[in-house]
Amino acid sequence: MKIGILISGSGSNMIKLIESCQNDKNASINIVISNNPDAKGIDFAKSKNIKTKIINHKEFSQREDFDNQINNILIENKIDFLCNAGFMRIHGEKFVEKWFNKHLNIHPALLPSFKGLNTHERAIKSGVKFAGCTVHLVRSGVDEGPIIGQAVTSVDAHDDKDSLAEKVLKLEHKLYPKCLKLFTEKLVKVKNDKVIFSDKAIKILDDFKV
C-alpha cells in the first residue's frame, strides 16, 4: 500500500507513521505534502528520502482548486491511502468523496466531543475527567467520520491545556500507527459507514482500553 501524508507543521505524528512503515512489507510512505512552506516536518521526510511537495493554500482563491492540486499529486504518485497528520485545512466534499474510506485523520479529543480547535483548553474548562485522541475516517463534516480507534488519559486536577496536550500527544503517537496498520493489513472493513473489526484488529487496539 502506497501511503501519502498531509501535514502543516512539525509532523510529529507523521514521524511515527514513517517509523512504523520502515520495516512493513505491506506499506510504504511515498509522499509527504504540506500546505505550509515552513513546515518542519518536510525536512524530516526529506531526511528519510521520502518525496515531498509544498502546495501553499494561499496561492489558491478556491478551496476546490487547492484540493484538486493535492489530488493530482497523489494520483501522479499512485497513492493508495491517505493520512492527515496535523493538516490544518478542511477538505471539500469532492476531495473527501475521491478518498472515501481511504483517508484517515487523527484528532486530539475523544470524538464526538470537542470537535474543531482548542480541544485541550475546552476539555479543561468543561471539567471532564478523561480526555484523549481519536483516529477516524475522513468525512466532509469537521472531525466527523467512522471511528477507528481511541486512546484515553485522565484529566488531573493540576492539568492545564499544555500538560494535557503533552499527555494526549503521547497517546496519538502510539494510536495512529496501530490504526493505520489495520488498513495496511486489511484487518477492518467499512460497511454502511460502520467499521467492522476482525479479531486481530480488536487485539491490536486492546492496549488502549480504560
Same domain, residue pair 66 and 137: no
Same domain, residue pair 84 and 116: no
pLDDT value of residue 23: 85
Same domain, residue pair 46 and 61: yes
Packing angle, helices 161-184 and 119-126, rounded to 10:
120
CATH of the domain at 11: 3.40.50.170
Adjacent-strand bridge partners of 70: none
SS3 122: helix
Strands 28-34 and 51-54: parallel
pLDDT value of residue 209: 59
Considering 107, 120, 136, 173, which one is annotated as catalytic?
107
With residue 19 as reference, give the H or E element that holds it: helix 12-21
pLDDT tens across 43-56, in order? 999 999 999 999 99
Alpha-carbon span 33 to 52, nearest angstrom = 6
Q: Which of 99, 128, 152 is the last residue of a domain?
A: 99
Alpha-carbon span 111 to 167, nearest angstrom = 17
Same domain, residue pair 69 and 126: no
With residue 209 as reference, give the H or E element that holds it: none
Domain hosting 66: range is: 1-99
Number of Cβ atoms within 10 Å of the Cβ of 2: 14
Confidence of residue 10 (pLDDT cuts 50, 70, 90): very high
pLDDT tens across 110-141, in order? 999 999 999 999 999 999 999 999 999 999 99
Same domain, residue pair 117 and 50: no
Query: Do residues 52 and 45 make contact, with C-beta atoms less than 8 angstroms apart?
Result: yes
Same domain, residue pair 158 and 179: yes
pLDDT value of residue 207: 76
Same domain, residue pair 9 and 94: yes
pLDDT value of residue 148: 98
Q: Which of 39, 74, 99 is the last residue of a domain?
A: 99
Same domain, residue pair 143 and 191: yes
Alpha-carbon span 186 to 179, nearest angstrom = 11
The domain tally of the chain equals 2
Which of 52, 48, 49, 18 is closest to 34 using CA atoms?
52
pTM comes to: 0.95
Q: Which of 99, 114, 131 is the last residue of a domain?
A: 99
Name 45's Cβ contacts closer than 8 Å, sequence gap at least 6: 5, 11, 14, 18, 29, 32, 51, 52
Same domain, residue pair 60 and 3: yes
Q: Which three cell numbers stand for residue 149?
A: 480507534
C-alpha triplet 185, 34, 187: angle, nearest 5° = 10
pLDDT tens across 172-200, in order? 999 999 999 999 999 999 999 999 999 99
Same domain, residue pair 64 and 112: no
Residue 210 has pLDDT above 70, yes or no: no
pLDDT tens across 62-85, in order? 999 999 999 999 999 999 999 999
Same domain, residue pair 135 and 161: yes
Cell 513546515 maps to which residue? 39
pLDDT tens across 95-104, in order? 999 999 999 9
Residue 169 has pLDDT above 70, yes or no: yes
Same domain, residue pair 90 and 22: yes
Q: Which three cell numbers stand for residue 178?
A: 496501530
Assess whether 107 carries a catalytic annotation. yes
